Amino acid sequence: MNPALLEVSSHGTVELKIPGRAEWVAVARLAVAAVASRLRFSVDEIEDIKLAIAEACTNSIQSAGGQDAGTIEIVCDALEDELRVTVRDHSPAAHLEPVKIGGLDEGRTEELGVFLIRALMDSVDYTSDPHTGTELVMAKRVTA
Protein backbone atom coordinates (compact mmCIF):
# COMPACT_ATOMS: atom_id res chain seq x y z
CA MET A 1 0.00 0.00 0.00
CA ASN A 2 1.25 3.46 -0.82
CA PRO A 3 2.45 5.33 2.27
CA ALA A 4 0.65 8.44 1.09
CA LEU A 5 -2.79 7.98 -0.41
CA LEU A 6 -4.56 10.83 -2.17
CA GLU A 7 -8.20 10.52 -3.07
CA VAL A 8 -10.13 13.21 -4.91
CA SER A 9 -13.90 13.03 -4.70
CA SER A 10 -16.34 14.85 -6.94
CA HIS A 11 -17.75 17.11 -4.23
CA GLY A 12 -14.65 19.14 -3.51
CA THR A 13 -13.26 17.02 -0.75
CA VAL A 14 -9.71 15.74 -0.79
CA GLU A 15 -8.52 13.19 1.72
CA LEU A 16 -4.89 12.46 2.40
CA LYS A 17 -3.25 10.06 4.79
CA ILE A 18 0.42 10.39 5.58
CA PRO A 19 2.73 8.50 7.89
CA GLY A 20 3.17 10.54 11.06
CA ARG A 21 6.85 11.14 10.50
CA ALA A 22 8.79 14.32 9.79
CA GLU A 23 9.77 13.41 6.24
CA TRP A 24 6.11 13.27 5.16
CA VAL A 25 5.01 16.70 6.35
CA ALA A 26 6.15 18.32 3.10
CA VAL A 27 3.79 16.03 1.18
CA ALA A 28 0.85 17.23 3.28
CA ARG A 29 1.60 20.90 2.82
CA LEU A 30 2.12 20.58 -0.92
CA ALA A 31 -1.08 18.58 -1.38
CA VAL A 32 -3.13 21.08 0.60
CA ALA A 33 -1.53 23.94 -1.34
CA ALA A 34 -2.66 22.26 -4.54
CA VAL A 35 -6.22 22.10 -3.23
CA ALA A 36 -6.06 25.72 -2.06
CA SER A 37 -4.90 26.80 -5.49
CA ARG A 38 -8.26 25.65 -6.89
CA LEU A 39 -9.97 28.36 -4.87
CA ARG A 40 -9.40 32.08 -5.35
CA PHE A 41 -6.65 32.41 -2.78
CA SER A 42 -3.69 34.68 -3.42
CA VAL A 43 -0.19 33.25 -3.51
CA ASP A 44 0.47 34.69 -0.04
CA GLU A 45 -2.72 33.13 1.34
CA ILE A 46 -1.74 29.74 -0.08
CA GLU A 47 1.62 30.09 1.67
CA ASP A 48 -0.24 30.83 4.90
CA ILE A 49 -2.37 27.70 4.48
CA LYS A 50 0.68 25.57 3.68
CA LEU A 51 2.40 26.69 6.85
CA ALA A 52 -0.68 26.18 9.03
CA ILE A 53 -1.20 22.62 7.77
CA ALA A 54 2.48 21.81 8.22
CA GLU A 55 2.35 23.16 11.76
CA ALA A 56 -0.67 20.99 12.53
CA CYS A 57 1.12 17.87 11.24
CA THR A 58 4.29 18.84 13.10
CA ASN A 59 2.23 19.26 16.26
CA SER A 60 0.91 15.71 15.82
CA ILE A 61 4.45 14.37 15.48
CA GLN A 62 5.73 16.39 18.43
CA SER A 63 2.76 15.25 20.53
CA ALA A 64 3.98 11.71 19.86
CA GLY A 65 7.35 12.69 21.28
CA GLY A 66 8.91 13.36 17.90
CA GLN A 67 8.61 9.70 17.00
CA ASP A 68 6.21 7.95 14.65
CA ALA A 69 2.76 9.45 15.22
CA GLY A 70 1.02 6.66 13.35
CA THR A 71 -1.18 7.87 10.51
CA ILE A 72 -2.14 11.52 10.16
CA GLU A 73 -5.37 12.08 8.26
CA ILE A 74 -5.92 15.35 6.42
CA VAL A 75 -9.31 16.22 4.94
CA CYS A 76 -9.64 19.31 2.77
CA ASP A 77 -13.15 20.59 2.08
CA ALA A 78 -13.01 23.07 -0.77
CA LEU A 79 -16.19 25.09 -0.34
CA GLU A 80 -17.46 28.04 -2.35
CA ASP A 81 -15.71 30.72 -0.31
CA GLU A 82 -13.70 28.76 2.19
CA LEU A 83 -11.15 26.03 2.54
CA ARG A 84 -11.71 23.90 5.61
CA VAL A 85 -8.93 21.51 6.61
CA THR A 86 -9.23 18.82 9.24
CA VAL A 87 -6.07 17.23 10.62
CA ARG A 88 -6.69 14.11 12.65
CA ASP A 89 -4.22 11.99 14.57
CA HIS A 90 -4.27 9.40 17.30
CA SER A 91 -2.23 11.36 19.77
CA PRO A 92 -3.83 11.60 23.20
CA ALA A 93 -2.01 14.77 24.18
CA ALA A 94 -2.49 17.79 21.96
CA HIS A 95 -0.85 21.12 22.68
CA LEU A 96 -3.22 23.42 20.89
CA GLU A 97 -4.28 25.97 23.46
CA PRO A 98 -4.20 29.61 22.34
CA VAL A 99 -0.85 31.26 22.95
CA LYS A 100 -0.36 34.95 23.49
CA ILE A 101 2.59 36.40 21.66
CA GLY A 102 3.98 37.85 24.88
CA GLY A 103 3.87 34.39 26.42
CA LEU A 104 6.02 32.71 23.82
CA ASP A 105 8.79 30.72 25.35
CA GLU A 106 11.72 30.94 23.00
CA GLY A 107 12.56 27.30 23.41
CA ARG A 108 9.12 25.84 22.79
CA THR A 109 8.44 25.47 19.11
CA GLU A 110 5.10 23.75 19.77
CA GLU A 111 3.80 27.05 21.06
CA LEU A 112 5.22 28.90 18.09
CA GLY A 113 3.46 26.42 15.81
CA VAL A 114 0.12 26.83 17.54
CA PHE A 115 0.54 30.57 17.50
CA LEU A 116 1.18 30.49 13.75
CA ILE A 117 -1.83 28.28 13.03
CA ARG A 118 -4.11 30.66 14.90
CA ALA A 119 -2.53 33.73 13.31
CA LEU A 120 -2.68 32.46 9.74
CA MET A 121 -6.12 30.83 9.63
CA ASP A 122 -9.49 32.52 10.12
CA SER A 123 -10.89 29.89 12.48
CA VAL A 124 -9.34 27.08 14.49
CA ASP A 125 -11.14 24.51 16.61
CA TYR A 126 -10.01 21.24 18.07
CA THR A 127 -11.09 18.27 20.13
CA SER A 128 -8.71 15.98 21.94
CA ASP A 129 -9.58 12.66 23.48
CA PRO A 130 -7.11 10.27 25.12
CA HIS A 131 -8.82 7.31 23.42
CA THR A 132 -9.55 8.58 19.93
CA GLY A 133 -6.87 11.23 19.44
CA THR A 134 -6.91 14.83 18.33
CA GLU A 135 -8.91 16.51 15.60
CA LEU A 136 -7.96 20.02 14.53
CA VAL A 137 -10.32 21.87 12.20
CA MET A 138 -9.15 25.10 10.64
CA ALA A 139 -10.58 27.26 7.92
CA LYS A 140 -9.56 30.14 5.74
CA ARG A 141 -12.04 32.26 3.85
CA VAL A 142 -11.55 33.45 0.32
CA THR A 143 -11.45 37.24 0.37
CA ALA A 144 -10.75 38.02 -3.29
Q: Which residues bind another protein (CB under 8 A)?
A: 22-23, 25-26, 44, 47, 50-51, 54-55, 57-58, 61-62, 101-102, 104, 106-110, 112-113, 115-116, 119-120
Give the list of residues 6+ apart from residue 108 with CB closer than 8 angstroms, or none: none
Nearer to another protein, 5 or 119 (CB): 119
Closest approach of Cβ 67 to another protein, in Å? 12
Let me know how long the chain is: 144
Closest approach of Cβ 28 to another protein, in Å? 11
Residue in 50, 127, 55, 139 with CA at minimum distance from that of residue 91: 127
Nearer to another protein, 35 or 61 (CB): 61
Nearer to another protein, 80 or 106 (CB): 106
Closest approach of Cβ 37 to another protein, in Å? 15
Rg (CA), the chain: 14
Give the list of residues 6+ apart from residue 100 with CB closer than 8 angstroms, or none: none
| Amino acid occupying residue 48 | D
